[in-house]
């Protein structure tokens, strides 16, 4: 496998050395890169992402199960969702300089904002998948504990695990006696990377808009923006 990037600075900063560098490189290859480099002999990272997603969920779930024995399943589920959502994973990926190592098409390389966050969150999962195949579960546990589970205290302190949509519905019914509804304003992108813009409506007024890579994520973002706009949070 040959690419234009040297991944050794990343290994150095993460204090991990891959036995098979192909796993590491593949974790950073976005599907779009192969469209422009069809004869590269490389594979994109989506299979690694599939594996890494399961490893991440297992490690986080076991950690929460062991460390919070008095918490019910429902509460632990919301905590886990807050830890492994795209927003948190993309923030962590950016802080670890994953952005510098992505292999993207020229067009995708110029995209920033939500689209890049989505790619970075997926790359975080594919990196965990690559780490698992190369180094095993113990090393993955160390990485996830250090970089992802370490975010839990802040998430709990700021109540980031609370479901914004449920909260906004509860407060809208309490304050104005109306249940909010959600409308898709716009959708774009290919099937495997859809983006949605959704408006949250009370009566006939669009209170706020949100974006996401699924309707559910966009609705949550819209509810979160609406809470801020109304000063209800």
CA angle, corner 217, sides to 125 and 153, nearest 5? 60
Question: In angstroms, how far is CA 131 from the centroid of its own chain?
Answer: 18
Spatial contact of 184 and 172, defined as CB atoms under 8 Å apart:
no
The active-site residue, picked from 11, 46, 53, 193, is 53
Q: Determine the Cα–Cα distance for residues 173 and 218; give it in Å rounded to an integer.
A: 21
Q: What is the CATH number of the domain that holds 99?
A: 1.10.1520.10
Which one is catalytic: 49, 108, 117, 125? 125
Report pTM: 0.74
Q: How confident is the model at residue 75 (pLDDT cuts 50, 70, 90)?
A: confident
Min mean pLDDT across 110-114, 127-131, 186-190 is at 110-114
223 and 196 share one domain: yes
Rounded alpha-carbon distances, angstroms, from residue 78 to 140, 160, 185: 22, 9, 28
Q: Is 73 part of the annotated catalytic residue set?
A: no
- Give the HSE-up count for residue 78: Cα atoms under 13 Å, Cβ half-sphere: 13
In this structure, is residue 1 part of a structural domain? no
Establish if 194 belongs to a structural domain: yes
Give the pLDDT of residue 162.
72
H or E element at residue 206: strand 205-212
Return the CATH number at 168: 3.30.160.20
Residue 14: which pLDDT band, with cuts at 50, 70 and 90?
A: very high
Whole-number pLDDT of residue 156: 87
Q: In which band, very low, low, confident or very high, does the pLDDT at 4 lie, cut at 50, 70 and 90?
A: low
Segment 118-125 shows an average pLDDT of: 95
Domain that holds residue 80: 8-157
Same domain for 76 and 56, yes or no, is yes
Residue that finishes a domain, picked among 131, 157, 183: 157
Q: Do 179 and 65 share a structural domain?
A: no
114 pLDDT above the threshold of 80: no
Count up the domains in the chain and report the number: 2
Task: Assess whether pLDDT exceeds 70 at residue 22.
Answer: yes
Is residue 165 within 8 A of residue 187, CB to CB? The reply is no
pLDDT number for residue 213: 81
Domain boundary among 157, 188, 218: 157
What tokens appear for 137 in the block?
């579960």
174 catalytic per annotation: no
pLDDT bucket at 1, cuts 50 / 70 / 90: very low
Mean pLDDT over the full length of the chain:
91
């Amino acid at each position: 496998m040959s690419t234009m990037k040297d991944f050794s600075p990343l290994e150095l900063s993460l204090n991990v050395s891959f036995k098979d560098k192909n796993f590491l490189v593949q974790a950073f290859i976005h599907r779009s890169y192969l469209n422009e480099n069809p004869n590269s002999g490389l594979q994109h990272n989506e299979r690694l992402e599939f594996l890494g997603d399961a490893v991440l969920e297992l490690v986080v779930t076991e950690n929460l199960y062991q460390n919070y024995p008095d918490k019910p399943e429902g509460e632990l589920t919301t905590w886990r969702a807050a830890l492994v959502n795209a927003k948190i994973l993309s923030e962590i990926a950016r802080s670890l300089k994953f952005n510098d190592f992505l292999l993207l098409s020229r067009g995708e390389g110029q995209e920033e904002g939500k689209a890049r966050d989505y790619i970075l969150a997926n790359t975080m999962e594919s990196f965990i998948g690559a780490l698992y195949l190369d180094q095993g579960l113990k090393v993955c546990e160390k990485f996830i504990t250090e970089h992802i589970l370490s975010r839990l205290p802040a998430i709990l302190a700021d109540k980031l695990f609370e479901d914004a949509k449920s909260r906004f519905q509860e407060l809208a019914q309490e304050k104005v006696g109306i249940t909010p509804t959600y409308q898709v304003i716009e959708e774009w992108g290919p099937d495997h990377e859809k983006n949605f813009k959704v408006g949250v409506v009370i009566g006939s007024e669009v209170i706020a808009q949100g974006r996401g890579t699924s309707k559910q994520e966009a609705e949550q973002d819209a509810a979160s923006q609406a809470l801020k706009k109304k000063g209800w949070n």
